[in-house]
Amino acid sequence: NRRYTVAVIPGDGIGKEVVPEGIRVLERAGQLHGFTLDQQWHDFASCDYYLQHGVMMPPDWKARIGAPDAIFFGAVGWPETVPDHVSLWGSLIQWRREYDQYVNLRPARLMPGVPSPLAGRGPGSIDMWIVRENTEGEYSSIGGRMFAGTEREIVIQETVMTRHGVDRVLRYAFDLARSREAKHLTSATKSNGISITMPFWDERVETMAGDYPDVRVDKYHIDILTAQFVMNPDRFDVVVASNLFGDILSDLGPACTGTIGVAPSANINPERTSPSLFEPVHGSAPDIAGRGIANPVGQIWSGAMMLDHVGEHEAAASILRAIETVLAEPRLRTPDLKGTASTVDCGKAIAQAL
């Protein structure tokens, strides 16, 4: 019997509703495929914790999390009580850096039976991976404010890109593209307007393309790229992007497939020198939290990506099939997909479909 240790962190809002469904499905998969998850649940990295302790995480959070095989995370943020940049920089964004999870991998795939907001697009017509740089770029903490509170007030924030940081995520994306049938990599840029960092990004893409003659490479400025996601989503296979552009594309891509409620993501440290983290793309969704109607598929699919990461490929594939089976059934879908199922109904249905 194979055992994996998993840190489970539900966080805020619908994170607390969808994580249990993710665990339900993972446990069932373990029974069927012969592995056990040793779960360590943590209540920190939530705004409730912040309100009690004045910090998002205890000072010894790293020791408490230890060295699990993976982290299974829900969502964080409750802007009514804690400003978003405080809650996020005190948890998720910190983890991505401290654990050097420099690849954020996110699929967008149109599933059978799921209604797409795009006209005339059927299953198979959208099937892409977004590879997002996850530790530097536009998400820097460098900068500041001058003349605060006066008419002359000014704020500055730096975007920082390093050859080290750009090359390693590009290499991951090129390798992924090479492993796919289409062998097609699209780079998101904005070198016509963002005139220092983005031309550098383009240069690194061009240089690395030399090592991958078998991969077809193109680039789009981010503005027209978002337009192309809507007009011609079938043109894309693997899309590599900076931290901010990847953030945008990995919400927009899933939206084109029907809902961001189904989109999973993996924050990966490819060298495995520290744990990787698996979380849905959606956030804590305060507007629907507490009503039991959140779509658990993004969390469950993130669980499948986690199993792939630890080496349980068969179990991961069977979860994906179970998701497809359930999504094809309107009555088993949650309201964001025009269904009537609750979060728990949908989670149970997927566990059963295994």
Ligand X SMILES: CC(C)[C@H](C(=O)O)[C@@H](O)C(=O)O
In the complex, which residues of this chain contact a second copy (CB under 8 A)? 77, 83-85, 87-89, 93, 115-120, 138-139, 141, 143-145, 150-164, 190-200, 221-224, 226-228, 230-231, 243-244, 247-248, 250-252, 254-256, 259-260, 283
How far out from the chain centre does Cα 319 lie? 18
Of ligand X, a second copy, none, which one does residue 270 interact with (CB within 5 to 8 Å by kind)?
A: none
Interface residue with ligand X among 283, 298, 339, 347 (CB under 6 A) is 283
And the tokens for 329? 């059934």
Of the two residues 93 and 326, which places its CB atom closer to ligand X in the complex?
A: 93
| H or E segment to which residue 20 belongs | helix 15-33
Helix (H, G, I), strand (E, B) or coil at 349: helix
Q: How many CB atoms lie within 10 A of CB 88?
A: 18
| H or E segment to which residue 177 belongs | helix 163-179
Q: Which residue is nearest to ligand X (CB)?
A: 193
Shortest distance, CB of residue 116 to a second copy, whole angstroms? 7
Q: Which amino acid, 295?
A: N
Of a second copy, ligand X, none, which one does residue 207 interact with (CB within 5 to 8 Å by kind)?
A: none
Rounded Cα distance between 56 and 222, Å, is 33
| CA nearest neighbour of 188 among 234, 136, 142, 248 | 248
Shortest distance, CB of residue 212 to ligand X, whole angstroms? 27
Q: How many CB atoms lie within 10 A of CB 125?
A: 16
Of a second copy, ligand X, none, which one does residue 52 interact with (CB within 5 to 8 Å by kind)?
A: none
Interface residue with ligand X among 66, 144, 193, 292 (CB under 6 A) is 193
And the tokens for 270? 């490819």
Count, residues near ligand X per rule CB under 6 A: 8
Decide if residue 140 touches ligand X (CB under 6 A): no
Chain residues binding ligand X by CB under 6 A are 88, 93, 192-193, 223, 247, 281, 283
